[in-house]
Amino acid sequence: MANKSSDLKMPKVKTLERHPVLRLIASVLIPVVRLLFKVRPIGLEKLPKTGPYILVGNHVTNVDALAVAYFVYVYCKRAPHFLAKESLFRVPLLGRILTAAGQIPVYRSGKRNDAQMAAANAYLNSGHSIAIFPEGTLTRDPNFWPMRGKTGAVRLALDTGVPIYPIGQWGSEKVMPQYGAKFRPGFWKPVDILVGDEIDLSRFRKNQLTPPELYEATEIVMKEITKLVAQLRQEEPPAKLWDPVSAGQPVTGNFKKANHK
């Protein structure tokens, strides 16, 4: 039986998407982000100006969430809502700020995320947008290409019927290395975010989707993200998505530190 005392509080959906508390938090974070790096949006016109949608992107460093949140708030004029790892919400002050800003904690310890999915559904049903890194953690690909994704984003899109849009982002690795201590901020350093067309999941929008179909739909999503990253990098991506399980890597946590134990 789940230990209810350890369950994290879910955020409440506000009638006003960019509500006063979020505006206050943004007023503090926006100048900080602008000092750390320069977000450059491409293809912004592809995203709906109103109504619900799911934004899915690649995950290279811990700076990515700040870059995407800035992109959503400043350029899309929307409220950024993320599904984020639970450990962040257990940091006393940070956890309260994240919850107040409408972020959703996700368990990684084997606990069910029913309440989390319900919270994400509530935001989408209220016309908000949700941002998800489908890989579930920083990519394990040796060259930072997107790796195999998890099915949560696809299941959310199919359950709610909302559109899903891919973004490729590149540049954060020059600001903060993966799990590294050599933080290299600079307001002139670009982090490019390229928006792709809506991903067509129409053939998967049916009742009782099988696990193989869910994985197929997720792979389609990850390949669309990879195409965008390839455009930004101006390089040819790997033919196959990196699979950390096949490579014998842990699927959560600092895999580089684990490899050196």
Residue 30 lies in a domain: no
Digits of tens for pLDDT over the chain (261 positions)?
Answer: 344 446 788 998 988 899 999 999 999 999 999 999 999 999 999 999 999 999 999 999 999 999 999 999 999 999 999 988 888 898 888 989 999 999 998 887 667 778 888 999 999 999 999 999 999 999 999 999 999 999 999 999 999 999 999 999 999 999 998 877 788 999 999 999 999 999 999 999 887 889 999 999 999 999 999 999 999 999 999 999 999 999 888 887 777 766 655
Specify the CATH number for the domain of residue 61: 3.40.1130.10
The DSSP output letter for 143 is: T
Residue 28 lies in a domain: no
DSSP state of 72: I
Q: What domain range is 46 assigned to?
A: 39-259
The residue assigned the tokens 């990196």 is 242
Report pTM: 0.92
Q: Is residue 48 part of a domain?
A: yes
pLDDT value, residue 3? 46
Task: Report yes or no on 53 lying in a domain.
Answer: yes
In the chain, how many domains are there? Answer: 1
Report if residue 11 sits inside a domain.
Answer: no
Q: Does residue 206 fall inside a structural domain?
A: yes
Q: Give the model's pLDDT for residue 1.
A: 39
The pLDDT of residue 5 is: 41
Is 9 inside any structural domain? no
Return the pLDDT at 85. Answer: 85
Q: How many CB atoms lie within 10 A of CB 26?
A: 19
Beta-carbon contacts of residue 164 (< 8 Å; ≥ 6 apart): 53, 54, 55, 56, 153, 154, 157, 198, 199, 201, 221
